[in-house]
Amino acid sequence: ENPPAPVPRSNVLAIPAYVPGKPPVARPGVTAYKLSSNENPFPPLPGVLAAATEAAGQMNRYPDMGASALYEALSARLDVPVDHLATATGSVGLLYQLVAAFCEPGDEVVHAWRSFEAYPIAVTAGGAVGVPVPLTVDARHDLDAMAAAIGERTRVVVVCTPNNPTGPAVAQAELDAFLARVPSHVLVVVDEAYVEFVRSPDPVDGVATALAHPNVVVTRTFSKAYGLAGFRVGYAVAQPPLAAALRAVSLPFGVSTVAQAAAVASLAATDALLERVDTVVARRDRVLAGLRERGWDVPDAQGNFVWLPITDPEHLGAFVASAEEAALVVRPFVGDGVRISIGEEEACDRLLALPGPTGAPIG
Ligand code: PMP
């Protein structure tokens, strides 16, 4: 007979697994491309690497816990006072902090589905309950249904724009109409992980929205447009009481010294980095048009990725296999479709050379 072992809280056992993008499998003579994690295909700029390398000389010390240089640089760049900011270990770190700071056990978090797969994980890990609201047929947030899903126990609503993995962005007018329907005690999180890639009309201005609404937090990241996914730096903008609550529950020393230095250097190089974003956006638009020409039913793409809605698991499997054959690693979501990140030019060419939709109708 074994003595009883410690048992995790019941919500821990209920946490869905995070399935990260697979690494590419090397094949002799063929460059493989990883298009499965919405990463930036460009490596860090030399000046960013130099700043991180110099900071690495201090890695025997703990980081600046207040991340003061990073707060100052963000404050200057966004033109908001530092007391409106919270930095974190990636914007996923902010999701955990939002649940920890605003949800009692059993409180509800309304979010679209399918959306970013870390939402149900962070919500469940924090002891809250996710309320997934299906997307519309054109893969957009159904903001009417999300407003209707707000109940007695709802403490947080997450709006992901552009939506990962499907691509469409919410318009500012739609967000404003939605906010007018949300009770003032409910926190609205606007996840703008891909904001720099948005080119749709009437784009959401998350920072201005957070400044105008005492119940709005906007979350952003250095992982996508700034190309620092491995460094793990995210930030939130909100009015001071909300920002203070997020800072209060943060992991002490969660943003490393090298990460702080890389983020500060990247903010100084914003112009060069946004040029790279323009390059990715041009590739995205080329891929979107090309896939549609081939007969794929691709929703609007406002992030650094495109979405093929392939609901039939067999067709999905066949598509993923044909991509693998071309040494492209893509991200399948069984039952819903496949997400493909916009990477190198050659990766885009190869993607457009894959077979188009066949067999039963897709979508
Ligand atoms: N939000 C969305 C919508 C995302 O797609 C991602 C990354 N896949 C994140 C947040 C998290 O990014 P990070 O933790 O790297 O900042």
Q: Is residue 154 within 6 Å of ligand 1 at its C-beta?
A: no
Q: Is residue 91 within 6 Å of ligand 1 at its C-beta?
A: yes
The pTM assigned to this predicted structure is 0.96
Cβ–Cβ under 8 Å, residues 262 and 51: yes
Confidence of residue 172 (pLDDT cuts 50, 70, 90): very high
Residue 177: how many CB atoms within 10 A of its CB? 13
Task: Specify whether 85 is located in the same domain as 230.
Answer: yes
pLDDT in tens, 234-252: 999 999 999 999 999 999 9
Q: Is residue 259 within 6 Å of ligand 1 at its C-beta?
A: no
Domain boundary among 236, 269, 302: 269
Kindly give the distance from the C-alpha atom of residue 3 to the centroid of ligand 1, in angstroms, as a whole number.
41
Pairing state of beta strands 187-191 and 216-221?
A: parallel
Query: Is 360's pLDDT higher than 50?
Result: no
Kindly give the distance from the C-alpha atom of residue 159 to the centroid of ligand 1, in angstroms, as a whole number.
13
CA distance 250 to 199: 33
DSSP one-letter string for 247-301: HHTSPTT-S-HHHHHHHHHHHHTHHHHHHHHHHHHHHHHHHHHHHHHTT--PPP-
Mean pLDDT of 158-164: 98
- Domain range holding 123? 59-269
Q: Is residue 254 within 6 Å of ligand 1 at its C-beta?
A: no
Cβ–Cβ under 8 Å, residues 191 and 199: no
- Smallest CA separation from ligand 1 atom 5, residue: 164
Domain boundary among 269, 291, 307: 269
Task: Specify whether 35 is located in the same domain as 88.
Answer: no
Closest ligand 1 atom to the C-alpha of 38?
8
- Mean pLDDT (the chain) is 95
Kindly give the distance from the C-alpha atom of residue 193 to the centroid of ligand 1, in angstroms, as a whole number.
6
Residues in contact with 50: Cβ distance below 8 Å, sequence separation at least 6, in sequence order: 265
pLDDT in tens, 79-108: 999 999 999 999 999 999 999 999 999 999
Number of structural domains (the chain) is 2
Distance of CA 304 to the CA centre of its chain: 11
pLDDT in tens, 18-74: 887 777 777 888 999 999 999 999 999 999 999 999 999 999 999 999 999 999 999
- Report if residue 49 sits inside a domain: no
Kindly give the distance from the C-alpha atom of residue 35 to the centroid of ligand 1, in angstroms, as a whole number.
15
Mutational pocket test of ligand 1: of 36, 223, 302, the residue with most ligand atoms within 8 Å of the beta carbon: 223
Q: Is residue 304 within 6 Å of ligand 1 at its C-beta?
A: no
The residues facing 28 across adjacent strands are: none
Q: Is residue 221 within 6 Å of ligand 1 at its C-beta?
A: yes
Query: Residue 316 maps to which CATH number?
Result: 3.90.1150.10
DSSP one-letter string for 206-231: HHHHHHH-TTEEEEEESSSTT--GGG
- Smallest CA separation from ligand 1 atom 2, residue: 193
- Alpha-carbon distances, residue 61 vs 53, 145, 254, 256 (angstroms): 15, 49, 13, 10
Kindly give the distance from the C-alpha atom of residue 25 to the centroid of ligand 1, in angstroms, as a whole number.
24
Task: Specify whether 263 is located in the same domain as 225.
Answer: yes
Query: Percentage of the chain with pLDDT > 70?
Result: 98
DSSP, collapsed to helix, strand or coil, labels residue 2 as coil
Task: Specify whether 232 is located in the same domain as 301.
Answer: no
- Smallest CA separation from ligand 1 atom 12, residue: 91
Query: Is 361's pLDDT higher than 60?
Result: no
Q: Is residue 90 within 6 Å of ligand 1 at its C-beta?
A: yes
Q: Is residue 116 within 6 Å of ligand 1 at its C-beta?
A: yes
Kindly give the distance from the C-alpha atom of residue 231 to the centroid of ligand 1, in angstroms, as a whole number.
13
Kindly give the distance from the C-alpha atom of residue 47 to the centroid of ligand 1, in angstroms, as a whole number.
24
Cis peptide before 165 (omega within 30 of 0): yes
- Smallest CA separation from ligand 1 atom 1, residue: 193
Query: Residue 96 maps to which CATH number?
Result: 3.40.640.10
Cβ–Cβ under 8 Å, residues 289 and 317: no
Q: Is residue 239 within 6 Å of ligand 1 at its C-beta?
A: no
Task: Specify whether 158 is located in the same domain as 300.
Answer: no
Instruction: Give the alpha-carbon dihedral of 208, 212, 214, 215, to 10 degrees.
Output: -60
Task: Specify whether 110 is located in the same domain as 121.
Answer: yes
Task: Specify whether 16 is located in the same domain as 140.
Answer: no
The pLDDT of residue 28 is 86
Kindly give the distance from the C-alpha atom of residue 92 to the centroid of ligand 1, in angstroms, as a whole number.
6
DSSP one-letter string for 286-347: HHHHHHHHTT--PPP--SSEEEE---SHHHHHHHHHHHHHTTEE-EEETTTEEEEE---HHH
pLDDT in tens, 310-324: 999 999 999 999 999
- Report if residue 53 sits inside a domain: no
CA distance 320 to 259: 34
Task: Specify whether 40 is located in the same domain as 87.
Answer: no
Residue 70: how many CB atoms within 10 A of its CB? 25
Instruction: Give the alpha-carbon dihedral of 338, 206, 149, 310, to 10 degrees.
Output: -10
Cβ–Cβ under 8 Å, residues 204 and 160: no
The pLDDT of residue 358 is 67
Confidence of residue 160 (pLDDT cuts 50, 70, 90): very high
